Amino acid sequence: MITWINASAGSGKTYYIIQKIKEIKQSNTNKSKSILCLSYSNAAASEMSERVDSESRKNTSFHTVHSFCNLALKDKSISVINEKESEALINKAVDISLKSNKFLEVVSSFYDESNSLFQSVYEAIKKNIEFKKEFLTKEFPEWNGIKIDKKIIDSLSDGGKLEINLMNSLLYEKCHMGGAPIKSLLTDSGQIRKRLYSSAWKIRNPFSAYFIDEYCIKVFEYVQKKKTFDAYQKSVAITSWVNCIKDNYENLKKESSVLDFNDLINNGIKFISESIYSDNIDVLGLDYIFVDEAQDLSEKQWEFIYALFVKVFNSNPNVKLYVVGDSKQSIYGFQGSSVYVYEGMYKKMQYFAEENKIKFATEVLNKSYRTSPVLLDYIDSTISSTSCKSKHSPVHEFSGRVEIHEYESEKATYGWNIKKANESEYLNKCLRKVIDLQGCNLFSENRGISFNDIMVLTRRRNSELFKFVEMCKSNNIPVKKSLFKFGSEEIVQELVSILKFAIYNDDFSLASILKGPFFKWAERDLLEVCSRRKGSIFDSLNKKNDKHSKVIKTCSRWKKLSFNPVDFYGNLLFSDEYGKFLLQSSFYEIVIEFWNKVVEFTKNNIGSPMMFIEWINGLSESFCSKGEGISISTIHGSKGLESKIVILLLNDSDIKKQKIIFQDGMMVWPVDNPLYMTSKNQRMFDENLENERLLYVALTRPVEQLYIFVKKGSSAFYSDIIMSSSREFKNDNGVLYSGSELTKRNKDCIPV
């Protein structure tokens, strides 16, 4: 029997599984039955294990898919590395590949501040994506232009300024097809310009006008072919580079006798398919299999679970499988999960049941044991226009409140030009809300609101959230939990890159520094150096060039510093021109905290620069208070959690699109051509659906109060969805709200 349970947020899916296990164990005929519970996360597996009673725990095991596959690992001399250790090995694999000029130039030509290329590489390796090893050879497109008759040139020479410019472009193109004057014929986006000549000239010279139109179409077609050819060549180069990194990564794992999480799953599939039995696992003795958090599983993890179930079923046709998940909460696409895989597995299990004449049942859990009816009404209304459309039934009757604070988008400005005093207005309002809530009571309990009751959520970790944490500290608001990795801050990464460059003369580190806020090199500046260099980027700089000269002088100073972290950064931040620049910028707070981390590291470790780099990159949390405090998290990090009060910060500019796309065994170079645009449109469609699911997860975290700060703008993704469901809200000085008014704290209602 297979039972597929669709469990909405807050519907008690863990309770459902625990009760099923208890029912099984309470039956006299089932007491000795063997039960396996698999989940995606350690947190879910631990929660289930802790909540079952001792009697139900007999012959019942709780594992993540990875930990269960680890039991099948027969060679105990091989260890399993965690995600951080895997990233460290990938970094080494990247460094090895960049020692080849063949790959360094193509990497340098794509480098930008967001590190989107390297993010794509890490994603490809973590997802274990298979890429082509061999590629079709394409010939460079030849220019088959149209001969320009002298009469055409003469007719243009008799025209005005517009026609003269066009004539010069045509004369140039005869000898230099693909040169700069193409811009006179085509727009920046590559389309034919609408006004190449005046209407009066066209009336006088209809044949010449027709010829020019046809000529521009030829130019347009050639440019498109050349773009496609260039994109294909670069896609091949990037894909070859990734394959090289993957090979290096595999070799490094073999040398170190380690496996990563992908290897564990592959090993588990092999264990099942080849009937390689382990003393730690008796899969054929299983009677019940529960799969929790099913929507978060990757395609490979599902492959293992399906193989496991089929193997057990062939030995014991009475085995029962329970799959618990919710497609509305599938938000880990960057880790390999997919709604398409989840829904595809539903159909695959259904087909298996039909073929083997066993029962396939579905259940829906939509009662909310978490959230106030006021919030559920708003959630249902908001998601009604999205792919997450659903109807929740409230169990509780306590009141609630929803507020929407819409703020204007600030003018674009570079972060390093924003002065410290100019804090974002909406962050000030958010901070004010946290402070004001301390004087009020909860709806769901007879007590006052404490900092512990508040969770702040954001789409992604960014500098504004780091700033918000600092603002909390400045106002004596404790932060109990923060899931923003300090070592991943952009300016922290730049400070680390400076140390790496000073020690190793590392080209990639220097490239990232040059593109940063201090040197502010454009893409063309870096390409210019890379295109003519014979050695490293630094050694190829020209002392006579003012821009290059500044880099040479600055980097030469850095190379002379002591590499002991406290000495190096002490001089860099407090004596060097670079440090003075940072301390006067909006990065001030992060830089000071970075210095505190340097001092902290030096107190407890020897002064090894490489140990420091690994340590700072591995910092998982920042600004955490062990006692009372608000929680700050990304929406991804909050999944499975709940809080009495949630403050949701939605900034559509946080929704970033990766530039490189995986398609048909290649990493497709981002340029306007049919292959890329088709892939891009599909990816954007999938990302928009995942953003809708992210919103659903965020809206379903609070128990009784939800405060949303959203950027104003009719074209904004989140703004449209949020505002469309607030038409019936009341308006209080620009703040839209629904639900009950909060009451002020009194002596009998105190925080705990």
Q: What's the chain's Rg over C-alpha atoms?
A: 30
Burial 359-389 (b: 16+ CB within 10 A, else e): ebeeeebeebebbbbbbbbbbbebbeebebe
* Residue 285 DSSP label: G
- Using CA atoms, how far apart are residues 724 and 708, in angstroms rounded to an integer? 14
Mapped onto helix, strand or coil, the DSSP state of residue 693 is: helix
What one-character DSSP code corresponds to residue 267? Answer: H
Cβ neighbour number for residue 528 with a 10 Å cutoff: 16
Burial of residue 239 (number of CB atoms within 10 Å: 0-12, 13-18, 19+): buried
Amino acid at 375: L
Tally of residues, the chain: 752
d(CA 143, CA 221): 10
CA distance linking residue 110 with residue 234, whole number of Å: 10
Element (H, E) at 270: helix 261-273
Question: Could you tell me if 331 and 639 are in contact, meaning their C-beta atoms sit under 8 angstroms apart?
Answer: yes
- Asked if 459 and 650 touch (Cβ cutoff 8 Å), the reply is yes
DSSP lists the bridge partners of residue 186 as 192
Which ranges constitute the DSSP H helices of 384-519? 425-437, 463-474, 490-504, 507-514
Going by the DSSP 8-state scheme, the letter that residue 278 receives in this structure is: B
Dihedral of the CA atoms 589, 593, 595, 597 (nearest 10)? -170
Place of tokens 């001030």: 588
CB environment 490-520: b (16+ within 10 A), e (fewer): bbbbbbbbbbbbbbebbbbbbbbbbbbbbbe
730, with CB counted inside 10 A (0-12, 13-18, 19+), is exposed
Mapped onto helix, strand or coil, the DSSP state of residue 501 is: helix
CA distance 237 to 243: 10
Q: For residue 448, give the DSSP letter.
A: B
Binding site, residues? 7-14
* Secondary structure of 62-84 in HEC code, one letter for each residue: EEEHHHHHHHCCCCCCCEECCHH
Q: CA-based angle 635:495:94, to the nearest 5?
A: 75
**Range list of β-strands (E), 640-692:** 643-650, 661-663, 666-668
Cβ pair 598, 569 in contact under 8 A: yes
β 661-663/666-668 pair status: antiparallel
CB 505 within 8 A of CB 536: yes
Angle CA 518–524–527, to nearest 5: 100
Structure tokens at 592: 């000071």
The residue type at 158: D
Cα separation, 699 vs 376, whole angstroms: 9
What residues form the annotated binding site for ATP?
7-14
Using CA atoms, how far apart are residues 622 and 620, in angstroms rounded to an integer? 7
Round to whole Å and give the CA distance between 2 and 175. 71
Pairing of strands 320-325, 288-291: parallel
